[in-house]
Amino acid sequence: MESNGIAGKHGMEGDSDLQFLLTGGDLLKVRSSSWKKTRFYKLQEDCRTMWHESHKKLKSKQTCECYNRPPASFSIDDIEAVRVGRQSEGLQKYTEDQVENRCFSIIFKGRRKNLDLIASSEEEAKQWVTALEKIISNTRNLNRQQKTEHWIFNCMRKADKNSDSKMSLKELKHFLHQVNIEVDDDYAEMLFEKCDHSMSDYLEGAEIEKFYKMLTEREEIDVIYGQYATTGGQMSSTDLLNFLLKEQRESASLDDALKLIEKYEVDEAAKAKQHMTKDGFLMYLHQPEGMIFNPAHKEVYQDMSQPLNHYFISSSHNTYLMEDQLKGPSSTEAYIRALMKSCRCVELDCWDGSEGEPVIYHGYTLTSKILFKDVIKAIKEYAFKTSEYPVILSLENHCSVEQQKLMAQHMTSILGSTLLTMPLGDQMPTNFPSPEDLKGRFLIKGKRLNKLDAIYSAEGTIDDDSVSEDDEAADAEEEEAKKPKTKLKLAKELSDIVIYCKSVHFHGFEDARDNLAFYEMSSFKEGKAEKLAEESANAYIHHNVDKLSRIYPAGSRTDSSNYNPIPMWNAGCQIVALNFQTPSKEMDVNQGQFLPNGMSGYILKPTYLRDGASEFDPITLTKGDWLQHKVFHVMVISAQQLPKLKKKTKSIVDPLVRVEIYGVPADTTEKETQSISNNGFNPMWNEQFQFEVYVPELAMVRFVVEDYDSTSNNDLIGQYTLPFTSLQNGYRHVPLLTKNGDVIPSAGLFVHIMVLDAE
């Protein structure tokens, strides 16, 4: 297993940044004000693993038990981002201003702690950051086929115990276990003998290559390719067009087929003949064009000029928390993560801070506190990196008038012209502006002392500067402090910057219709919202045609678990706030809902949820435009390279696949395959399911792969959720995400999809 060109797989041969990482160097690792230690970091030859060791002088083998312990390492795949300067809380807390330019942080996916580092000079810090970002971006851009090769190569390297670049039968068995495939000894020997042409009891060079080819053989792809490759054993552009029209049900032209050959064919001779080989075909099936998610929906493709309340808006609750709401840490990092996932409404729970500066944390609990101004700075920095559409800052205000003035001051000075402090246009608005009108702007949601028209009249006076607390704050108080609802004095400075999202209490749909202005919005606790969505769905829909509604989880969810957002969306509620920090099925569905439309965090509601005369009711489902009855056929064919779950155990996964549909109650259902024992490498099911979908515009499809366990709950291997309307027909690969929503590099499902109009 010569490591030839493994760096080349990144397309980075001879790259100076790559050389810099492969050489490595010393960095100061920071854990606290007293714990700052030098560590040596370098990239391993596989170009996928960063390795580091301490500089402790090891005495003799006898005196140091940790002598043989391998140095720690982490995979490039585990890195979420690299941040320049003192951006992490650790660096802000434990280092001084003057090292700002020498600092950087490596932020990991999931709940792993950041790695805070200081280089010896500003140039060196820049070089580390540039080089790391380059290799992360290259790794992410490798296509699925290359990732598979990479992954298999790495497993081979690990299995080659004595590093002689040869593979014995024993090493081969170890390797098969590494790639999550349990084979009996006979099968392993048979594979080995087929490849061991030199009869040397070792595989090397071309023999290993042959073994790799046999291993990555995709029978199911061979069959499909064989059906359409009618031109001397290859697919001509016409054959490929036939496949696109018949199987993929695409409105394709010969020109489209030629473009795919040009883009993905790996064999130059075939490309010259405008043919596609089996390898090229497999390559195409692993690209966006061959994926289940419609590539046209990767961009913003919906009309963004409708009023703001005509969209579902990706929204987070208790955004400051990294874990649960009783004792989890509060962190600006939590805001960055939510915003980078294109969340467009974040929550700020504001309290008086001890040093005259307002702080954010979960009141009455042990969660840590962060400075309000630090949160606003982080939000300003990251709000529009993933999406340029407006961000709503939902304030839950418990502060004294003095500190409220400071809050208003911080927001106006830090956010500057991006903060909306006046309605758009020069006269009193009668409706919301659109996401397009509000690009790059921040809106404040909170209490306001008077009506918005006060801005335009001399009578903008205020009789009473106290307002009752937000519903959510009152809920928290009742539950945790058993206090009656209190009145809160509101600073005029803070009140004045609440423009389109004025918080008011909800006293029923009739009262809202008769007495509330369009910009006056209510927050509903999940239980109340569920009851309304079930018993008065149509009235709720009408309410949401004119106003905004925010839904939030019950205070009793101390573990920060999530409720099901679907019934709220079905009733037209826009701001359905979930705990982004808690991996859950509900969060998967939320990420799936906001996957299309360029991941902008805004999804245009279907017409019947935007029409004041709509008769749509998701529960009773009377006749109407919303009924577009489809028959949805799914064939679950196979999976590839499912990861092992418990790194430490010797167990191989027993995978099963479940297809779940979420939407109106009539559409909500699930079906699952048999489990396949001891094969996570290339399990085949070939099982067919059929579903009836009545309201496709509100339906979501979730593919779940689990490790079957007869004695306890199945473990999640990976999942992928997308809107029914973003599915592509035909033979498609389905990527798989971890419970934290990160892509599992080389794993996937292979399915056949057919959506037909019901007779």
3-state secondary structure of 228: helix
What pLDDT digit, counting tens, does each position of 307-356 carry? Answer: 999 999 999 999 999 887 777 788 899 999 999 999 999 999 999 998 89
Alpha-carbon span 641 to 4, nearest angstrom: 23
Give the range among 98-102, 215-219, 634-638 with minimum mean pLDDT. Answer: 215-219
What pLDDT digit, counting tens, does each position of 373-431 carry? Answer: 999 999 999 999 999 999 999 999 999 999 999 999 999 999 999 999 999 998 899 99
| pLDDT value of position 483 | 54
| pLDDT value of position 68 | 37
Q: Is 79 marked as binding a ligand?
A: no
Split at pLDDT 50, 70, 90, the class of 494 is very high
Q: Is 151 marked as binding a ligand?
A: no
With helix as H, strand as E and coil as C, how does 502-522 read? EECCCCCHHHHHHHCCCCEEE
Distances (CA, A) of 687 to 150, 220, 243, 642: 30, 13, 22, 18
Q: DSSP for 319-365?
A: TTBSS-TTTPPB-HHHHHHHHHTT--EEEEEEE--TTSS-EES-TTS
Whether the predicted pLDDT of 56 surpasses 60: no
Q: Is 685 marked as binding a ligand?
A: no
| pLDDT value of position 112 | 82
Q: Is 45 marked as binding a ligand?
A: yes
Read off the pLDDT of each residue in 732-739 and give the average, rounded to a whole number.
95
| pLDDT value of position 210 | 80
Split at pLDDT 50, 70, 90, the class of 652 is confident
| pLDDT value of position 111 | 73
What pLDDT digit, counting tens, does each position of 125-144 carry? Answer: 999 999 999 999 888 877 66
Whether the predicted pLDDT of 469 surpasses 70: no
CATH of 630-757 among 2.60.40.150, 3.30.1280.10, 3.40.980.10, 3.40.50.300: 2.60.40.150
Please state whether beta strands 103-108 and 115-118 pair in parallel, antiparallel, or not at all (unpaired). antiparallel
Q: Is 318 marked as binding a ligand?
A: yes
| pLDDT value of position 145 | 65
Q: Is 569 marked as binding a ligand?
A: no
Split at pLDDT 50, 70, 90, the class of 7 is very low
User: Could you tell me the pTM of the whole model?
Assistant: 0.84
Among 73-77, 177-181, 196-200, 551-555, which range has the highest average pLDDT?
551-555
pLDDT, greater one: 652 or 672: 672
Whether the predicted pLDDT of 523 surpasses 90: yes
Enumerate residues 6+ apart whose C-beta is below 8 A from 456.
427, 428
Alpha-carbon span 104 to 115, nearest angstrom: 9
Enumerate residues 6+ apart whose C-beta is below 8 A from 263.
284, 287
Whether the predicted pLDDT of 48 surpasses 60: yes
Is 733 one of the annotated active-site residues of the chain? no
Read off the pLDDT of each residue in 687-716 and give the average, rounded to a whole number.
95
Facing residues of 581 across strands? none
Query: Taking a C-beta distance cutoff of 8 angstroms, is the pair 663, 724 a contact?
Result: yes
CATH number of the structural domain 219-290: 1.10.238.10
pLDDT, greater one: 41 or 323: 41
Of the candidates 362, 410, 543, 733, the residue annotated as catalytic is 362
| pLDDT value of position 5 | 37
| pLDDT value of position 159 | 72
Whether the predicted pLDDT of 471 surpasses 70: no
Give the range among 142-156, 271-285, 394-408 with minimum mean pLDDT. Answer: 142-156
| pLDDT value of position 678 | 86
Of the candidates 10, 150, 297, 317, the residue annotated as catalytic is 317
Q: Is 437 marked as binding a ligand?
A: no
Range list for CATH 3.20.20.190 in the chain: 308-451+465-609
Distances (CA, A) of 169 to 175, 179, 191, 212, 651: 10, 15, 10, 14, 20
Q: Is 708 marked as binding a ligand?
A: yes
Q: What angle do CA 563, 317, 432 make, to 5 degrees?
A: 105
Query: Taking a C-beta distance cutoff of 8 angstroms, is the pair 12, 19 a contact?
Result: no
What pLDDT digit, counting tens, does each position of 594-613 carry? Answer: 999 999 999 999 999 999 99
pLDDT, greater one: 651 or 514: 514
Indicate the average pLDDT of the chain: 88
Q: Is 40 marked as binding a ligand?
A: yes
What pLDDT digit, counting tens, does each position of 80-137 carry? Answer: 999 999 988 889 889 999 999 999 999 998 778 889 999 999 999 999 999 999 999 8
Range list for CATH 1.10.238.10 in the chain: 146-215, 219-290
* Tokens found for residue 508: 């029923």
| pLDDT value of position 261 | 96
Chain-centroid distance, C-alpha 280? 29
Alpha-carbon span 24 to 336, nearest angstrom: 29
The angle, 0 to 180 degrees and rounded to 10, between the axes of the packed helices 169-178 and 144-159 is: 130
Q: Is 235 marked as binding a ligand?
A: no
Whether the predicted pLDDT of 521 surpasses 80: yes
Is 362 one of the annotated active-site residues of the chain? yes
Read off the pLDDT of each residue in 578-607 and give the average, rounded to a whole number.
96
| pLDDT value of position 448 | 95
Split at pLDDT 50, 70, 90, the class of 487 is confident
Please state whether beta strands 79-84 and 72-75 pair in parallel, antiparallel, or not at all (unpaired). unpaired
| pLDDT value of position 8 | 42
> Is CATH 3.20.20.190 correct for 308-451+465-609?
yes
Per-residue exposure over 557-591, b if at least 16 CB sit within 10 Å of its own CB, e if not? beebebbbbbbbbbbbbbbbbbbbbbbbbbbbbbb
Fold of 146-215: Recoverin; domain 1 (1.10.238)
| pLDDT value of position 470 | 63
Q: DSSP for 409-430?
A: HHHHHHHGGGB--S-SSSS--S
In the DSSP assignment, the letter for residue 163 is: -
| pLDDT value of position 367 | 75
Alpha-carbon span 84 to 271, nearest angstrom: 44
Distances (CA, A) of 504 to 344, 448, 488, 593: 21, 9, 14, 28
Query: Taking a C-beta distance cutoff of 8 angstroms, is the pair 626, 695 a contact?
Result: yes
| pLDDT value of position 192 | 84
Range list for CATH 2.60.40.150 in the chain: 630-757
pLDDT, greater one: 54 or 56: 54
What pLDDT digit, counting tens, does each position of 673-688 carry? Answer: 999 998 888 899 999 9
pLDDT, greater one: 310 or 204: 310
CATH class of 8-141: mainly beta
